Structure 1
Amino acid sequence: MGRFILAIDQGTTGSTVALMDARGKVRASVNYEFPQIYPKPGWVEHCPADIWASIAKGIRAILRRKVCKAADIAAIGIANQRETALVWDRRTGEPLNNAIVWQCRRTTDFCQSLKQRGHEGLVKRRSGLVLDPYFSASKYRWLLGNTTGIKAALRRGEVAAGTIDSFLLWQLSGGEVHATDISNASRTSLMNLKTGQWDDQLLDLFQVPREILPAICPSSGILGHTRGVPGLPDGIPIAGVAGDQQAALFGQAGFDAGDAKCTFGTGSFILMNTGSETLHSKAGLLTTVAWQLGEEGRRVYALEGGAFVCGAAVQWLRDGLKIIKSAPDIEALAAEVSDHGGVEFVPALTGLGAPHWAPDARGTLTGLTRGTERGHIARATLDAMALQNADILRVMEGELGRRMRPLRVDGGAAANNLLMQIQANVLGRRLVRPRVIETTVAGASYLAGLGVGLWESPADIRKIWRADREFEVKTSAAARRKRYESWDDALRRTLLS
């Protein structure tokens, strides 16, 4: 058997393809961005062909590195942007429409109508999720009602639907596999958390036919084999799949109940392992499946809170306001000032997620004076990224009734030392950053490696996980309270506007 895992981390703004060896070291990694499509305010789409092209390009680039031969690849693992939904032709594999991205708010009115009709409790009890356009179910409904020719294709049985992992499994297997893993299925609002299967009542509520949906499979174990992928031999097992945030928790070796991580990506997402227990939040957090290892493995659950805009706020400073040339420049710019100077940026650029769930909220920038500099706006942006997470973690600790363990952090923005120190300060908790900062890649690799026996158990993975740096709290409780007061005031203004 080969000694390398090919990991695909299909994200919101780009796709990463990487090679991990049996010692848990990432030996090569490439990332290719693809276009974002904004047809209307609040609408976000991706062209599925662009996504697949970025991955095919990544596979070719990785193989050109000559770290290993294609024959040395033991398995493929996938991590993916989760709630993004799409439909394609079962015969040809061609997309029937653009994918609707998790950030898209076009189904807000429909979700609001379901709330007004009293269906929110049903959705929460069965799926563990709140009624919000963030999740896949209402996106499927929109695609089924607004895609040219789809009604006739449905009658002919030619429509396949899924989240991005399903589309990638289809492409990698040459159309032989239409499946999703249980962690991704748990993000659709269509899966029953207790049974781990599509729920008839939820399917009826969102008007999604069962026959177009993929089979639900464990997160680790052989789901299919490669066929017809340029540069790869046929027959490589596709042996690990998980939504990107669940993959990050697994990549952080968060295997025990109480382990928690925060991923700083396009959005920021905090997951805490709750073991075999499904904790249902009363304060806007989500209950989700973390993973299942093999057909006979127990299902592991997590409590989750997510902020829709994290790294995307930095991209906005770069592309919209043009006050930085590249995303990493924000650290030096923010360090030019000692604090936020009274400036508050609430980055509700695509609404607000947990714990507020305000899809119509819009971003606000307040506290500007004649003395405001670019550095203050940059610092307010970093503060906002950290404070959004602190809001979620405060709620999470309240739900649990106890303080958390040190928080493990990852994702591209976790490389920003100033941001990590701000996060430790406003949270009042020690942070631990791993050596492998792109833990979605690590999680996808670990799940695939377990699926083919490269590692025998999570205990083997825990042995190779290493910390890079810890960030201790450097502010007082009084200073944290004062910072919260200013932030909470800005949040109130945003929610009332």
Structure 2
Amino acid sequence: MPVRDGAKKSLIGVIDDGTKTVRFVIYEAERSEELVSHQLDKTEVQPQEGWYEQDPMEIIHHIKVCAENAIEQLTELGYTKEDIVALGITNQRETTIAWDKFTGEPLHPAITWNDIRTDSTVDAILAKVPDRNKNYLKNISGLPISPYFSALKMRWLKDNIKTVRRASRDKRLLFGTVDSWIVWNLTGGPHGGLHITDVTNASRTLLMNLETLNWDPMLCRLFGIHRDSLPQIRSSAEIYGTVKDGSILDGITISGILGNQQAALVGQNCLQAGQAKNTYRTGCFLLYNTGTRRVQSTHGLLTTVAYKLGPDSPAVYALEGSIAVAGGAIKFLRDNLKLIKDVSQDTEHIAGQVFSTGDVYFVPALNGLYAPYWRKDARGIICGLTAFTTKNHIIRAALEAVCFQTRDILEAMNKDCGMPLSKLHVDGWMTSNDLLMQLQADLTGIPVLRSTSWDMSALGVGVAAGHAAGVWAVERWRRHATPSHTFLPTTTDDDRDARYTKWKMAVQRSLGWATTKKSITMTGQKRKNSIFTSFDTLTPPDSRKNSWEIDNVPIEKPPTDEGVDNSIEELIQYSARKFSIFVPLKAPKDEHTILDDAEYYMNKKECDYDMCQCCQSKKKLLTDWKTIEEIIENDPEIIFDSDDNPIVVEQRNDPMYEPTPVIGNSLKKRMQLEKIPVIFKNICNKLTETSLT
């Protein structure tokens, strides 16, 4: 096949890392149709219920394989690799990776965006904020305190993974979302790789200040994350660097980064305030462009950065509603209930055999409900079953559930912005289902415009990368009307409102199912007060199992130096039985805490961050990051017992507990020997050749 139109155009390569697949797509500049592409499925591991992990090295491997296959196809079209002038990256957001900056090895599998293992961490953070208000940080970050966001995943990794804690202590730790991991590896990895992210991905971490577009010192301290481990925040469209990994992409300029939902907003050409798009994939994500104005939602939506197309361009913001389970509900019916065999072919056909759901409602809160409810205690229900209900009704109810959840978000956006949406742009693999699209139009009462391509994320970041490289004019793209298929509403207002009312009834019945025991930090017990700890289980202070002494020898608090000072624990694990130890902490004292800084940091302006143009350099106030990082280092750590209950533990900065070099297979440390119980000394003398005394 010859070059299209007989003339070569500059090419834009795009890496598209989704939840399930990795793709490499190549576009001709200023054309919305894919030229060539290749994709591979990713392996997702679920070690426990609600936990989802991916292999970071597999992501890098798939990118290289997909790029090789896509570029091989170019020769048939009259192009070569040298025609690719820019590379864009779009990625699954909130998915978090920790790695060693000297070796490049991941320290733990990537924790994906829909993972809910951080429930206990959320409780521990909520215990630190006034009234345990999950929306306390929304004025700074635009986000509620939820397991969804990256800061909670970073905190969980530091609290629970020894290799991450040690890397943090040794200043070797790097945190990032998938875009940071990809760029770092492509630009050299341990040999000078760029540790960067863009504003759209950074705005999903719960650590970025939406006003300054920089990491917020108070938020970093609250979550205990060092700024040195975080990537530098850049705009969504600029020249970042070139690929230096020895792969087929070597030498290509990287010039665009966008989170996948923000990239779809650009790809759908929703570049004017008041336009919105919805992407139907495993989850569902609706973004409403609010222009350069930040709208603080009071109805359960998120304020996020839509894009920033250049270092000197203003940031454009959006309201977002996130649905945890959309296409995932259909896959649940296939994999768990065995109601269908093929999602793409059977769903529309089977659901279309009935004219309604028969008053059946399916709330797919399999991992809790996201926007606008933000209820992690919600669980999925199917209600309204009768003797005449068939699988056809349940499958149709699953499709309607996606539409009802979308209407939930549109209702909230209308209340926040005061202006109802006139049309909804849609994309994602689920949009190939005509019945779903018609149901969406019927249940929202507005036209639904389906894009010509099911994946607009790759196109959106291709526009951003081409814009930075000077081969794709955004203004021309803004005026360009993308062809689409329109679905118009066919139901009355009374009918859709009656069905929506019953949906809300079903949602109420799904709440409160996942009841968990309140953790120590959520029961009202003050921080730094008397906290008891055991190496296996937690028991109350008045239990007979606990005492102030063992064998009439007083116990000194065991050291808690992040998995290094574990001598007493090592003794316990070799003993004939395990001892539960009651450890009183020091009496509470008034001291400066993180919350004392909240008002100070929330009132800081661009001048204070050296980002303004109005002040002389000598007058600008610079943040004392060294002091803040020292506070983070010395702030009490949060550890977890066997029941996942968080325990606040004071750091021990005592030279008597400094570790000594490793001798043999055991760690020997200088301790206060007279404080160790006699029974432990006897155990150690019997099991080792070296006496403690």
TM-score (norm 2): 0.70
Q: Which runs of 5+ in 1 are unaligned?
A: none
Distance of 1:206 and 1:349 partners within structure 2: 27
> Radius of gyration: which is bigger?
2
Question: Is 2:351 the counterpart of 1:334?
Answer: yes
Q: Secondary structure at the match of 2:416?
A: helix
Distance of 1:42 and 1:465 partners within structure 2: 41
Q: Which residue of 2 aligns with 1:105?
A: 116
Q: Which amino acid aligns with 1:429?
A: I
**Offset from partner CA, 1:80-108 (integer Å, 9 cap, x none):** 11111110111222111011111111111
Contact 2:299 2:415 in 1 (8 A): no
Q: Which amino acid aligns with 2:260?
A: D
Q: Secondary structure at the match of 2:45?
A: coil
**Offset from partner CA, 1:97-152 (integer Å, 9 cap, x none):** 01111111111122134334426454111101011010000100111222233333
Q: Which residue of 2 aligns with 1:203?
A: 220
Q: Secondary structure at the match of 1:321?
A: coil
Q: Which residue of 1 aligns with 2:207?
A: 190
Q: Which residue of 2 aligns with 1:293?
A: 309
Distance of 1:496 and 1:209 partners within structure 2: 36
Question: Is 2:245 the counterpart of 1:238?
Answer: no
**Offset from partner CA, 1:208-234 (integer Å, 9 cap, x none):** 1110000000000112211125222x2
More off after superposition, 370-379 vs 424-433: 370-379
**Offset from partner CA, 1:453-495 (integer Å, 9 cap, x none):** 1113x22213444222001011000110121122111111001
Q: 1:395 to 1:471 in 2, by over 3 A?
A: same
Q: Which residue of 2 aligns with 1:28?
A: 36
Q: Which residue of 1 aligns with 2:14?
A: 7
Q: What do you get for the CA RMSD once the two structures are aligned?
A: 1.5
Contact 2:134 2:146 in 1 (8 A): no
Relative contact order (alpha carbons < 8 A, sep ≥ 6): 1 or 2 greater?
Answer: 1
Q: Which residue of 1 aligns with 2:88?
A: 77
**Offset from partner CA, 1:13-49 (integer Å, 9 cap, x none):** 1112211112222112232211221111121111112
Q: Which residue of 1 aligns with 2:269?
A: 253
Question: Is 2:385 the counterpart of 1:364?
Answer: no
TM-score (norm 1): 0.96
Q: Which residue of 2 aligns with 1:44?
A: 52
Q: Which residue of 2 aligns with 1:138?
A: 152
Aligned-pair distance for 1:371?
2.2
Trace 1:251-400 onto structure 2 (pairs within 5 A): 251-329=267-345, 330-400=347-417
Contact 1:89 1:159 in 2 (8 A): yes
Q: 1:383 to 1:170 in 2, by over 3 A?
A: same
Q: Secondary structure at the match of 1:345?
A: strand
Q: Which runs of 5+ in 2 are unaligned?
A: 1-7, 514-693
Among candidates 5, 13, 23, match of residue 16 of structure 1: 23
Q: Secondary structure at the match of 2:137?
A: helix
Question: Is 2:195 the counterpart of 1:181?
Answer: no
Q: 1:229 to 1:123 in 2, by over 3 A?
A: farther
Q: Which amino acid aligns with 2:71?
A: L
Q: Which amino acid aligns with 1:378?
A: I
Distance of 1:382 and 1:89 partners within structure 2: 43
Q: 1:3 to 1:491 in 2, by over 3 A?
A: same
Distance of 2:484 and 2:271 partners within structure 1: 19
Distance of 2:337 and 2:210 partners within structure 1: 43
Q: Secondary structure at the match of 1:57?
A: helix
**Offset from partner CA, 1:219-272 (integer Å, 9 cap, x none):** 00112211125222x221111101111111011111111111111111111111
Q: Which amino acid aligns with 2:42?
A: F
Contact 1:182 1:218 in 2 (8 A): yes
Q: Secondary structure at the match of 1:313?
A: helix
Distance of 2:394 and 2:73 partners within structure 1: 40
Q: Which amino acid aligns with 1:85?
A: T
Contact 1:76 1:448 in 2 (8 A): yes
Q: Which residue of 1 aligns with 2:487?
A: 471
Distance of 2:423 and 2:24 partners within structure 1: 30
Aligned-pair distance for 1:54?
2.4
Contact 1:86 1:143 in 2 (8 A): no
Q: 1:422 to 1:121 in 2, by over 3 A?
A: closer
Q: Which residue of 1 aligns with 2:435?
A: 418
Question: Is 2:120 the counterpart of 1:92?
Answer: no
Contact 2:305 2:315 in 1 (8 A): yes
Q: Which amino acid aligns with 2:327?
A: G
More off after superposition, 302-311 vs 14-23: 14-23
Distance of 1:285 and 1:383 partners within structure 2: 21
Aligned-pair distance for 1:370?
3.0
More off after superposition, 373-382 vs 445-454: 373-382
Among candidates 426, 430, 435, match of residue 452 of structure 2: 435
Q: 1:454 to 1:283 in 2, by over 3 A?
A: same
